[in-house]
Chains A and B, each alone.
Chain A
Amino acid sequence: MFPIVNATLLAPGVKQFEIEAPRIARKQQPGQFVIIRIHDAGERIPLTIKSSDPKKGTITLVVQAIGKTTSLLNELGRGDAILDVAGPLGKPSEIEKYGRCVVIGGGVGTAIALPTAQALKDAGNHVTAILGARTKNLLILEKEVREASHEVFVMTDDGSYGGRGLVTDKLRELIGEADFVLAIGPVPMMRAVAEATRPRAIKTVVSLNSIMVDGTGMCGGCRVAIGNESKFACVDGPEFDAHQVDFGVLMQRNAMYRDAEQQLLAHFKEHRAEEVARVRGACAHV
């Protein structure tokens, strides 16, 4: 059982959780994720770790309510607990001295890009961050990203804050001087970034959010097409060379359980209170 020691709403539907997980906190590196299971009938889902505090023994996750598990998670707060948290999984981000780095965070991907941005800055790189959101109140972690980078540009779809347009619009302005690009966010965004940097052969890395079960390489459900090979996002990734990724296969495979996911979410919306009680019940028995 993993107690939630702090929970903060960052934006509508986006919540930050600080969770007691001392073993994981000691080991976590930027780019890694955990697999969580919320209660005894729960599914296992991967969530990338935003940060950790080894002294306090906590890790921090940022969760956007999309499916049933993430929506249920966002009903929880301080004093609640998550039944299972396993990690840190996946390979850490490869941090090198590249020179000028552009770190792009789309939506909740910003939370995942943040620790890598900090690590790139600490390694002596010049870090420019581009944050994208649909609208101003969905933008998260701007202040922390400013601390982790040298300059920050914000792009909103509706122009309510920062520049109006897509993150790739800003990227095209900066591309001339970029030595390295990291993009984490919705798949269409990552694909667009990959296409923008491909002609100039700028090293570009993306973090893939494929469907996982165990997260340790055992099931192969998270396989992605990288170049001419099949790779497992959980153990070979989750970060890959964006120019090698077949984003079409990723989107197709991520749609595999769409009907089931919608069925679960619809049921959840009608039984919110019971589901929260189930989480509390499961953890009370541990």
Chain B
Amino acid sequence: MSNTIPNKERMKLPRQHMPEIAADVRARNFEEVNLGFEANAAIIESLRCLACKTPTCTRSCPVGVDVKEFLARIIDKDYLGAAAVIRRDNALPAITGRVCPQEDQCEGDCLVAKRNESVAIGHLERFVADYERKTGQIGIPENAPSTAKKVAIVGSGPAGLSAAGDLVQQGHKVRVFEALHELGGVLVYGIPEFRLPKDIVRQEVDVLRKRGVEFETNVIVGKTVTVDELLGEEGYDAVFVATGAGLPQFLGVPGENLNGVYSANEFLTRVNLMRAYRFPDYDEPVYDCRGKDVVVVGGGNTAMDAVRTARRLGARNAYLVYRRGEEEMPARKEEVKHAKEEGIEFRMLTNPVELIGDERGWLTGVRCVRMELGEPGADGRRKPVPVAGSEFVIDASLVIVAVGTSANPLVQSTTPDLKTTKKNYIEADPETLRTSKKGVFAGGDIVTGGATVILAMGAGRKAAKGIGEYLSSGAWPLTVNG
């Protein structure tokens, strides 16, 4: 350890500022908002770490990254060593460094925050991964000797990729099946370029390839091949189902089939996966937002991504409509801040009741009702209730619905012995992620419903551990009854 600064002094060092593109510039392009730390800032920021004996940051990280250790490597300017330390627990540091809700996890429990701002762990994680990309070198842990066991992973989103990293490290042969043409799942179809550049996802996928993971795109498990076939003629010893949150939910109000009404999934998939923001250089079109008024409904990260995307596509007014208050929004604080800086207009305690269209079937406005927070509901959150007689119309020609998703049924419907919940999510043991079907594990949004990238990655880690144990013991204790 080369940090010789006394703890008292460390507590006084200010948190290093993350440089970002000016709001008025970035609101018109798809460049990444945050620019990343320079080495000097990264070292100073790392010196702020108190190197606690029992680090709360690691404890509150869903994948248990050894934060203290990787920060120590940064202080020693051993950036590749820092990357290898992170990768022992986290297969995707360039991604989590950008999209994790650190304020609720590692940074939220940082002891420095008792006196000062927390150590910028997320920014440091990103710094280390960016260093690899800039220098073309990577810091990866060694794989264990081959076990000759084969594992199939269904879905190349955060849960699948995270499990893939851990499983090759255990010495297994791993193949990831992806339904779309590009690898990364929600990281490429959902999260926009300005928050997570696609090159970063490609970088992490390439690292996994170098570590020995195989990938196959255009395979829709449940349609192109079934889970039973993977375990049967294709010879896999275990299957990890990480298909993610699937079907978009709509509002259930009149007018949802009007032209100009999108699910956030569709809008973001067109813009991100299909690069519609570069139409006509890319063929897939998206609604032309230039000079138009756009309403996005929802309060999560997906809603933030959608409304900031519409803004960048040239929307004149971009409104975020949410039925609760700003305090209750589940979105990351940084996204809310960035959105406001970019001129997004927040309409809190507002709920759409009708989508209004013209005689040709195109949207012209959103009829809304004002809400107030009433008694706490079953989940402990105060329930929004409509204020009588408060209806009003927001003129808009595009509305994007970002109010969550429900389970995609493709795997479940073709795997009859896979037990599911009432809402058709897959049932899995919370610790081992074993399902009701021998050799099949499931994790991420297809088990929990829509959550975050890092929680899905945590599930991927658990699955890899559960699969590793199963492959060595062959035991399948029944925890989810078939």
Which A residues lie at the B interface, using CB under 8 A?
23-24, 27, 37, 41-44, 68-69, 83-89, 213-214, 216-221, 223, 225, 230, 232, 235, 249, 252-253, 255-257, 259-261, 263-264, 267
Min CB distance, A55 to chain B, in Å? 16
B108 at the interface (CB under 8 A from A): no
A85-B218, A264-B283 given as contacts; is B266 within 8 A of A221 (CB)? yes
- Of A69, A214, A260, the residue contacting B279 (CB under 8 A) is A260
List 19 A-B pairs, Cβ < 8 Å: A41-B275, A43-B274, A69-B283, A213-B266, A213-B270, A216-B220, A216-B223, A216-B246, A217-B246, A217-B408, A218-B269, A219-B263, A219-B270, A220-B250, A252-B257, A252-B259, A256-B259, A260-B279, A267-B280
Write out the residue numbers on chain B whose beta carbons fall within 8 Å of the beta carbon of A264. Answer: 280, 283, 285
Min CB distance, B163 to chain A, in Å? 21
User: 1/0 per position for B283-297, CB-CB distance to A under 8 A?
Assistant: 111011000000000
A213–B256 Cα distance when bound, in Å, is 18
Write out the residue numbers on chain A whose beta carbons fall within 8 Å of the beta carbon of B250. Answer: 220, 230
**Max count, chain A CB within 10 A of own CB: residue among B181, B256, B283, B361:** B283
A219-B269, A220-B265 given as contacts; is B283 within 8 A of A84 (CB)? no
A85–B223 Cα distance when bound, in Å, is 13
A253 contacts B259, C-beta separation under 8 Å: yes
A253 contacts B408, C-beta separation under 8 Å: no
The 10 A-B residue pairs with the shortest CB-CB distance, nearest first, are A260-B285, A219-B266, A252-B361, A43-B283, A43-B284, A86-B218, A84-B181, A220-B263, A221-B266, A220-B248
Tell me the interface secondary structure of chain B in the complex: loop
Write out the residue numbers on chain A whose beta carbons fall within 8 Å of the beta carbon of B281. Answer: 41
B179 at the interface (CB under 8 A from A): yes
**Max count, chain B CB within 10 A of own CB: residue among A68, A218, A220, A259:** A218
B256 contacts A249, C-beta separation under 8 Å: no
B247 contacts A86, C-beta separation under 8 Å: no
Write out the residue numbers on chain B whose beta carbons fall within 8 Å of the beta carbon of A259. Answer: 288
Write out the residue numbers on chain A whose beta carbons fall within 8 Å of the beta carbon of B274. Answer: 43-44, 213
A232 contacts B247, C-beta separation under 8 Å: yes
B481 at the interface (CB under 8 A from A): no
A216 contacts B219, C-beta separation under 8 Å: no
User: 1/0 per position for B236-267, CB-CB distance to A under 8 A?
Assistant: 00000000001110100000110100110110
A255–B361 Cα distance when bound, in Å, is 10
Write out the residue numbers on chain A whose beta carbons fall within 8 Å of the beta carbon of B225. Answer: 23, 27
Minimum CB distance partner of A257 in chain B: B285
A89 contacts B247, C-beta separation under 8 Å: no
- Of B218, B257, B275, the residue contacting A249 (CB under 8 A) is B257
B360 at the interface (CB under 8 A from A): yes
Tell me the interface secondary structure of chain A in the complex: mixed
> Told that A23-B225, A86-B219 touch, could you supply 16 new A-B pairs with CB distance under 8 A?
A27-B223, A27-B224, A43-B283, A43-B285, A68-B283, A85-B218, A87-B220, A213-B270, A214-B179, A214-B189, A216-B220, A218-B189, A218-B247, A219-B265, A220-B266, A230-B256
B283 contacts A213, C-beta separation under 8 Å: no
Write out the residue numbers on chain B whose beta carbons fall within 8 Å of the beta carbon of A84. Answer: 181, 217-218
A228–B408 Cα distance when bound, in Å, is 22
A88 contacts B224, C-beta separation under 8 Å: yes
Write out the residue numbers on chain A whose beta carbons fall within 8 Å of the beta carbon of B180. Answer: 86, 214
- Of B248, B279, B288, the residue contacting A219 (CB under 8 A) is B248
Minimum CB distance partner of B247 in chain A: A217
Min CB distance, B66 to chain A, in Å? 35
Minimum CB distance partner of A86 in chain B: B218
A229–B36 Cα distance when bound, in Å, is 48
A213 contacts B224, C-beta separation under 8 Å: no
In B287-310, the 8 Å CB interface with A consists of 287-288
A230 contacts B257, C-beta separation under 8 Å: yes
Min CB distance, A29 to chain B, in Å? 11
Min CB distance, B286 to chain A, in Å? 8
A41 contacts B224, C-beta separation under 8 Å: no
- Of B219, B269, B283, B288, the residue contacting A214 (CB under 8 A) is B269
A216 contacts B266, C-beta separation under 8 Å: no
Min CB distance, B358 to chain A, in Å? 11
B218 contacts A217, C-beta separation under 8 Å: no
- Of A27, A43, A255, the residue contacting B259 (CB under 8 A) is A255
Write out the residue numbers on chain B whose beta carbons fall within 8 Å of the beta carbon of A83. Answer: 181
A218-B247, A219-B248 given as contacts; is B269 within 8 A of A213 (CB)? yes
User: 1/0 per position for B169-187, CB-CB distance to A under 8 A?
Assistant: 0000000000111000000
Write out the residue numbers on chain B whose beta carbons fall within 8 Å of the beta carbon of A88. Answer: 223-224
A253–B266 Cα distance when bound, in Å, is 14
Min CB distance, B111 to chain A, in Å? 42
B280 contacts A218, C-beta separation under 8 Å: no
Write out the residue numbers on chain A whose beta carbons fall within 8 Å of the beta carbon of B256. Answer: 223, 230
Minimum CB distance partner of A32 in chain B: B223
Minimum CB distance partner of B216 in chain A: A23
B410 contacts A217, C-beta separation under 8 Å: yes
A213-B270, A218-B246 given as contacts; is B224 within 8 A of A87 (CB)? yes
A261 contacts B361, C-beta separation under 8 Å: no
In B188-245, the 8 Å CB interface with A consists of 189, 217-220, 223-225
Write out the residue numbers on chain A whose beta carbons fall within 8 Å of the beta carbon of B287. Answer: 256
Min CB distance, A53 to chain B, in Å? 17
B285 contacts A86, C-beta separation under 8 Å: no
B218 contacts A253, C-beta separation under 8 Å: no
Min CB distance, B403 to chain A, in Å? 12
A44-B274, A252-B361 given as contacts; is B410 within 8 A of A216 (CB)? yes
Minimum CB distance partner of B263 in chain A: A220
- Of A23, A216, A219, the residue contacting B179 (CB under 8 A) is A216
- Of A221, A223, A252, A261, the residue contacting B360 (CB under 8 A) is A252
- Of B181, B280, B285, B361, the residue contacting A37 (CB under 8 A) is B181
Min CB distance, B182 to chain A, in Å? 9
Minimum CB distance partner of A37 in chain B: B181
Write out the residue numbers on chain B whose beta carbons fall within 8 Å of the beta carbon of A235. Answer: 247, 409-410
A216-B408, A225-B257, A249-B257 given as contacts; is B284 within 8 A of A89 (CB)? no
A23-B224, A223-B257, A253-B257 given as contacts; is B283 within 8 A of A42 (CB)? yes
Write out the residue numbers on chain B whose beta carbons fall within 8 Å of the beta carbon of A44. Answer: 181, 274, 284
- Of B223, B262, B280, the residue contacting A263 (CB under 8 A) is B280
A249 contacts B246, C-beta separation under 8 Å: no
**Max count, chain B CB within 10 A of own CB: residue among A44, A220, A252, A257:** A220
